[in-house]
Amino acid sequence: MKNNDDKFKKIIAHSKEYGFIFQSSEIYDGLSAVYDYAQNGVELKKNIKEYWWKAMVQMNENIVGIDTAIFMHPTVWKASGHLGAFNDPMVDNKDSKKRYRADVLVEDFMAKIEGKINKDIAKAKKRFGDEFNEEEFRATNGRIKERQAKIDQISKTLYSSMESEELGKIKTLIEDLGITCPLSGSKNWTDVRQFNLMFSTQIGSVSDESNEIYLRPETAQGIFVNYLNVQKTGRMKIPFGIAQIGKAFRNEIVARQFIFRMREFEQMEMQFFVRPGEELKWFEYWKEQRINWHKSLGISEDNYRFHDHEKLAHYANAASDIEFNFPMGFKELEGIHSRTDFDLTAHQEYSGKKLQYFDPELGKSYVPYVVETSIGLDRMFLSILTTSYTEEKLDDGSERLVMKFPPILAPIKAAILPLTKKDGLPEKAREIMADLKQDYICQYDEKDAIGKRYRRQDAIGTPYCITIDHQSLEDNTVTIRDRDTMQQERVAIKDIYTIIRNKLSLKM
């Protein structure tokens, strides 16, 4: 864990030093859980969005995109249930004055027990070698069984109390388990209270309650309230989907872990409208599509796993998360939810407008069911950032730091590097730059020794470095250096564009 913490700290420092992410309002000591994307970060983020949009909208003839406003009519949030139920249980420690999410405190406690179990298993694995059977060991080892039973008991109490909103029971659980504040070490807790996560503000010039509106806590509702507009104007036939990328805002109680949990963040969501009764088939379909999308980036597959929800939200009849192995462990990256007709029926009720679809094949009208895929863009960014960060020892004993981004997501695609600042090399280099920059973000760099320039590009993850040397003037060839293998290949200048295109094309 310690190693992972150190690595995470290094990644955060690196992303500031190399222009990926800055703390918001840094000169005023920052704003907690709010971040700015810097010159390289913004490119990486844009490329992730594009990669998602292409896979969801461009590649699916029955999915279209929209871009709805952040502000919505306040009744939307009554209908969606956010005004009544978008709460987290919070608890304050009276000594440190620090506020926590009560459920997270208990979950962290369970994770500690889980950690002990894993330690025992790792030890046994070492001892028994190839003969080790983990399943059998879990089922028979007394200490592990005892610990697992404890986790199961705590989990049952926690989730049933959350479900029934018995906040007193959660407080008792925290006390019974003897959970202490990580800061003060004390057990001096306030009562557990509900805290609504929506930000509110006033619309118009008069500030009274009737003008109160909210910053959207998810992009999905913009899609629900527009689904009939899109269906009619786009002549969409069920099943069809609507996709959207946009900002969402949540006043998170525990805002930590860098861009994992932010108060202002971006979501990439797709709502897929289907016939009632067919939703579970489509749920399975989208689970598979989405995990394949992640795997297509070439990141090691054991970084991903599904976590099927046992405890379902009131609107869902199936839900699964794609979890990613972040530096702080496996955590939710994307959610796939079968939301039934909950949202559309609620909007129909609150707005008094019919939101039914006439199915020409069935010859009848119904409120469609919805399967959604919802991924946090910033979390996706973090997953890419953390797996790409690589410290490498080279054969000559030196070290290099390289961001091994999937080339298609890399902020800068190619660096154009004239070996020297004279002899006509810069002019030649500029010609190549001019040719590539219409289609790709490139960086021209003629300062410092070439080795140093390569390192700079490694640190921001540029997949290809094109070096123009004296031979280039004689025979119109250059070298292309591959970021990961560091191999250099001599190629004709006239072929550079095609080579880069082939390396970066989705089709290829």
Residues that bind ligand ATP (CB under 6 A): 218, 250, 252, 261-262, 265, 267, 332-335, 374-376, 378-379
Q: Give the closest residue to 451 by CA, choosing from 436, 465, 471.
A: 465
Least separation in angstroms between residue 315's CB and ligand ATP is: 12
Find all residues with CB under 8 Å of 6, minimum gap 6, and list them: none
Show the 3-state SS of 81-111: CHHHHCEEEEEEECCCCCEEEHHHHHHHHHH
Cis bond before residue 418 (omega within 30° of 0): no
Cα gap 264→215, rounded to integer Å: 10
Measured from the CB of residue 98, what is the shortest distance to ligand ATP in angstroms? 19
User: What is the dihedral sign for C-alpha 255, 259, 260, 262?
Assistant: positive
In terms of CB distance, is 171 or 250 closer to ligand ATP? 250
User: CA geometry: angle at 18 spanning 12 and 24, to 5°?
Assistant: 60
CB of 221 to ligand ATP, least distance (A): 12
Distance separating alpha carbons of residues 487 and 481, to the nearest angstrom: 6
Nearer to ligand ATP, 255 or 280 (CB): 255
Tell the smallest beta-carbon distance from residue 96 to ligand ATP (Å): 23
How is 158-199 classified by DSSP, letter by letter? HHHHHHTT-HHHHHHHHHHTT---TTT----B---EEEE---
Residue with smaller CB distance to ligand ATP, 90 or 375: 375
Sequence-ordered list of residues with C-beta below 8 angstroms from that of 381, at least 6 positions apart, any chain: 41, 44, 45, 48, 259
Angle between helical axes of 377-388 and 2-17 (0-180°, round to 10): 100
Closest to ligand ATP by CB, 250 or 347 = 250
Tell me how far, at minimum, the Cβ of 116 lies from ligand ATP, in Å. 24
Cα–chain-centroid distance for residue 360?
A: 38
Residues 6 or more apart whose CB falls under 8 angstroms from that of 299 comprise 383, 384, 387, 406
Residue among 321 and 341 whose Cβ is closer to ligand ATP: 321
Nearest residue to ligand ATP by CB is 376
SS3 238: coil
CB of 53 to ligand ATP, least distance (A): 17
> Considering beta carbons, is residue 47 or 467 the nearer one to ligand ATP?
47
Q: How far apart are CA 468 and CA 471, in angstroms?
A: 8
Nearest approach in angstroms of CB 337 to ligand ATP is 7
Compute CA distances 250 → 87, 268, 284, whole Å: 10, 16, 29
Comparing CB distances to ligand ATP, the nearer of 174 and 336 is 336
Min. distance of Cβ 374 from ligand ATP in angstroms? 4
In the block, residue with structure tokens 């010859």: 363
Distance between CA 505 and CA 508 in Å, rounded?
5
Residue 466: strand pairing partners: 416, 480
Taking a C-beta distance cutoff of 8 angstroms, is the pair 316, 374 a contact? no
- Nearest of 252, 286, 288 to residue 269 by alpha carbon: 286
- Residue among 262 and 433 whose Cβ is closer to ligand ATP: 262
Shortest Cβ 157–ligand ATP spacing (Å)? 19
Q: Are 54 and 415 in contact (CB under 8 A)?
A: no
- Closer residue to ligand ATP in complex, CB, 166/332: 332
- Of 242 and 262, which CB lies nearer to ligand ATP in the complex structure? 262
- Minimal distance, residue 419 CB to ligand ATP, in Å: 44
CB of 217 to ligand ATP, least distance (A): 8
- Output 375 or 478, the one with its CB closest to ligand ATP: 375
